[in-house]
Amino acid sequence: MDLSQQSNADGSAMISHGLTQVLVSVFGPREAKMRSQTLHDRAVLNVEVNIAPFSTGERRRRGRGDKRILEFASSIKSTFEPVVQTNLYPRSQIDIYVHVLQQDGGVLQASINATTLALVNAGIPLLDLVCAVTGGVHSTSPMLDLTTLEENDIPHLTVAVMPKTGKVTLVTMETRLHVDRFGDIFRLACEAGQVIHKEMKRAVHVRTQRLVDTMGMGSRPPGDGESIEKDTLTGEMK
């Protein structure tokens, strides 16, 4: 993934969960690169994932054809296909580029949350914000936001929910988990999704308010009773 193109993205977001850090960029809706993949009634979601070799102590370079990478991208795509209002953009394509900069557990969780904010930043309409949480169980105690060591040692799953509608868009589990414990973790993850939803809405509101304030400042006529001075040392407006 070419990070030099990030400045041209229609929307982007960076999220950190503990030591895990993910950057997501969204391009589009735009004309599809291949006509064979164009759908006449809706837009096509294209998800590409890149995991930086320095993001983990493994130091292993994973190419685009890596099975793990393809499964990761497929999970993100299937999560957002029911959420993005693709019917509003027929015969077009929305590209989602996920770049994992650092990983220490909860990578899928961070990637989904960052994708949600990047899509909002790009102005693409969603049915609801998608909030993802990773949970596990140690003995009989449910846990959230697992590290890599915890994910390797205990059963865990990732849940993506739409808190406003109460729907679940993704449940993925790569380890065996007793059915009695599944319900406890699932309920806890859904409750945590409500908390993340509030933080996302707050972040979107702050971002929107900054844009509104910037636009208002740019359109304000001179001599309206307020003076704007520029600090010659820092270049900041005051």
Task: Give the pLDDT confidence score for residue 61 in this predicted structure.
Answer: 61
**% of the chain residues with pLDDT over 90:** 54
| Single pTM value for the model | 0.84
Q: Where are the domains of the chain?
A: 3-217
Least confident residue range of 52-61, 127-136, 167-176, 177-186: 52-61
What's the length of the chain?
Answer: 238
Tally Cβ neighbours within 10 Å of residue 215. Answer: 10
pLDDT digits (tens, 9 = 90+) for 168-203: 999 998 788 878 888 888 999 999 999 999 999 999
125 or 33, higher pLDDT: 125
- Residue linked to tokens 């990761």: 72
Task: Give the pLDDT confidence score for residue 7 in this predicted structure.
Answer: 67
Structure tokens at 150: 């915890």
**What is the C-alpha separation between 32 and 10, in angstroms, rounded?**
16
**pLDDT grade, residue 218 (50/70/90)?**
low
Phi then psi for residue 211, to 5 deg, are -65, -40
Long-range contacts from 167-170, C-beta under 8 angstroms, 24+ separation: 167/128, 169/78, 169/79, 169/80, 169/82, 169/83, 169/130, 170/75, 170/78, 170/79, 170/112, 170/132
Q: Domain 3-217 sits in which CATH superfamily? A: GHMP Kinase, N-terminal domain (3.30.230.70)
Which segments within 18-123 are labelled E, that is strand? 20-30, 44-51, 93-102
**DSSP secondary structure letter of residue 230:** B
Task: Give the pLDDT confidence score for residue 227 in this predicted structure.
Answer: 39
